[in-house]
Amino acid sequence: MIEITVVSTIPSGIFPQKALELGAKLGLPAATDPAQCHTPLLLAYTAEGLQLLHRPAPAKRYTTLLAIDFVGGKNGYRLQNERTTRQPLARAAGIRPGYRPTVLDATAGLGGDAFVLASLGCQVTMCERSPLLAALLDDALSRARQAFPLAAEAASRLTLLGIDARHHLTAAEVSYQTIYLDPMYPQRSQSALNRQTMRAIRMLVGDDDDSGQLLELARLRATERVAVKRPQPSPHLNETRPSHAIFMKNSRFDVYLAVERILSTTCDISPPP
């Protein structure tokens, strides 16, 4: 079991109280002073936002293990310089001149692709079943909504649901024009998953062993298409051949068009256990 304490590194203002409230919400121990913490991981309110901090033994200081920022860094660069409907993600999602589909990002993770789609004009719902990742996403969205107009406008098109997408997709009257899946890639020795950030995500959410079931549910609920991001050498998810694929250097988008969907009369869409 992962040992995590929720805390604020900011000693004054509303953040110590926010740390106590978030700890209670997540069912985790909480403190108002990092000196009171003895776990190897902290979910901490910092001057840069909510972050997952790590203190490897025998180090005495915590370092940032995971943080989400929609305003600066890679996401900020994509927002300022890569808002084009010609990019592979936009094409996979079905964006075209004068048309922006409603999108469910069923495996939100760090939210980068969802934020790009929102910046292009789509109304995007994000599902994230890891409570810790959902908390990081919620804080990043709150900061983006208070940032410069371009970021605030994109954030206003995003809705976050801290639930398993399978449960959401089995709810009555739930449908989206596009459903996007980016399940955790199978671990490979030389893949990007060995980077610190991706190792942290795997530690929090584990492997997406149910991604095949999620694909089948998504194909039932998407009115136009399902787009699945996959690494180039990997087989099709659930061994289901897509309508077409959009290739990039190291990955691809497998696109399943609703008009080519074959519904099985024995398909069970009851809620997962």
Work out whether strand 222-231 and strand 251-257 pair parallel, antiparallel, or are unpaired: antiparallel
Q: What is the CATH number of the domain that holds 163?
A: 3.40.50.150
43-64: pLDDT as tens digits: 999 999 999 998 876 667 888 9
Q: What distance, in Å, lies between the first and last C-alpha atoms of the chain? A: 21
Q: Quickly state the pLDDT bin for 209 (edges 50, 70, 90).
A: confident
Going from the C-alpha of 64 to that of each of 45, 67, 74, 110, the distances in angstroms are 12, 7, 16, 15
Domain span at 12: 4-67
Asked if the structure places residue 81 within a domain, the reply is yes
Query: Residue 189: what pLDDT?
Result: 45
Task: Judge whether 158 lies within some domain.
Answer: yes
* CA-based nearest residue to 3, from 72, 57, 84: 57
Last residue of a domain, one of 16, 37, 67: 67
Based on the fold, state whether residues 256 and 143 are members of the same structural domain: yes
The confidence band for 233, taking pLDDT boundaries of 50, 70 and 90, is confident
Judged by average pLDDT, the poorest of 53-62, 86-95, 165-174 is 53-62
CA–CA separation, 169 vs 176, rounded Å?
A: 10
Are both 58 and 78 inside the same structural domain? no
Residues 27 and 141 in one domain: no
- pLDDT-derived band of residue 263, with 50, 70 and 90 as boundaries? very low
- Count how many domains the chain has: 2
What percentage of the chain reaches a pLDDT higher than 70? 87
- End-of-domain residue from the set 17, 46, 67: 67
On average, the pLDDT of the chain sits at 88
Highest mean pLDDT among 4-13, 120-129, 198-207, 227-236: 120-129
Check whether 184 has a pLDDT greater than 90: no
Contacts of 241 (CB under 8 A, 6+ apart): none
Q: Which two tokens stand for residue 61?
A: 């200081």
Placement of tokens 């009257």 in the chain: 173
User: Can you tell me the distance from the alpha carbon of 259 to that of 261, in angstroms, rounded to the nearest whole number?
Assistant: 6
pLDDT(270) > 70:
no
Kindly state the average pLDDT of the residues 183-199.
61
Q: Is the same domain home to 89 and 214?
A: yes
Same domain, 118 and 50: no
Looking at residues 140-146, what average pLDDT do you find? 97
Q: What's the pTM?
A: 0.89
